Amino acid sequence: MKKVTISTLIKMKQQGERISVITAYDASFAKLFDEQGMDAILIGDSLGMVLMGEDDTLPVTTAQMAYHTRSVRKGTQRAFVIADMPFMSYATVEQSYANATQLMAAGASMVKMEGGDWLLDSVRGLTDRGIPVCGHLGLTPQSVHKLGGFRVQGREQQQAEELVNQAVALENAGALMLVLECVPSVLANRITQSLNIPVIGIGAGPGTDGQVLVMHDMLGISANYMPKFSKNYLNECGDIRKAVSLYIEEVKQGKFPTEEHSFS
């Protein structure tokens, strides 16, 4: 099958074809997801919680992200590969250059960064230097202590307007994709329609251009808890490959997420 690129994903948005994304952290699962037809694979700093057993993503290092990115790349032939930049690895523009370089050298095709206006210089600089950037707004797990926990963002009008403005600013700065996490469905729809780049939701309702889930949540094997926005596909199918295939199918057909998995 033809390799997925950022141009492929932008074209999918333009044509109204939904994008399926999942996290992976090793070659074996990456290969399985790739063979089932997943559009994109994210090496998430969620590995801090689901692999390392931490309470949040903050302890994850760039070296750990590079290790897992290299492993995922070795198992991937078709899917687009995105790597998270971990906590405080892009606090300055210079840091973002150095650490994004490590992740791209490890096999990423794009790096993902959490935050809004303060990131714009880094996004411009990375883009100018040939490193594609995915933004991340809404619930940004690396800011969990500032946010007061894992809470839905954008319910108040002022915050919703700020998120819309930040999304547009990230696109104007050169971001080629955006993840929206834990925001009301109405706000996610508005942001998705305001941007020309693909918007991938997680807890952002059914109106985004695509969906991403943490693989451990999708398979019902997370050590901590099952988020409201996730669905245990393994429990429904009893087979990992069938579960992955069903997840992709339901994303493509707009059957997942439903209002049950969304926020108002």
| Residues taking part in catalysis | 181
State yes or no: 252 annotated in a binding site: no
48 is written with which tokens? 């801090």
State yes or no: 74 annotated in a binding site: no
User: Could you write out the three-class secondary structure of the chain?
Assistant: CCCCCHHHHHHHHHHCCCEEEEECCCHHHHHHHHHHCCCEEEECCCHHHHCCCCCCCCCCCHHHHHHHHHHHHHCCCCCEEEEECCCCCCCCHHHHHHHHHHHHHCCCCEEEEECCHHHHHHHHHHHHCCCCEEEEEECCHHHHHHHCCCCCCCCCHHHHHHHHHHHHHHHHHCCCEEEEECCCHHHHHHHHHHCCCCEEEECCCCCCCEEEECHHHHCCCCCCCCCCCCCCHHHHHCCHHHHHHHHHHHHHCCCCCCHHHCCC
State yes or no: 45 annotated in a binding site: yes
Contact present, 129 and 153 (Cβ < 8 Å): no
List binding-site positions for 3-methyl-2-oxobutanoate: 45-46, 84, 112
**Binding site per annotation, positions for Mg(2+):** 45, 84, 114
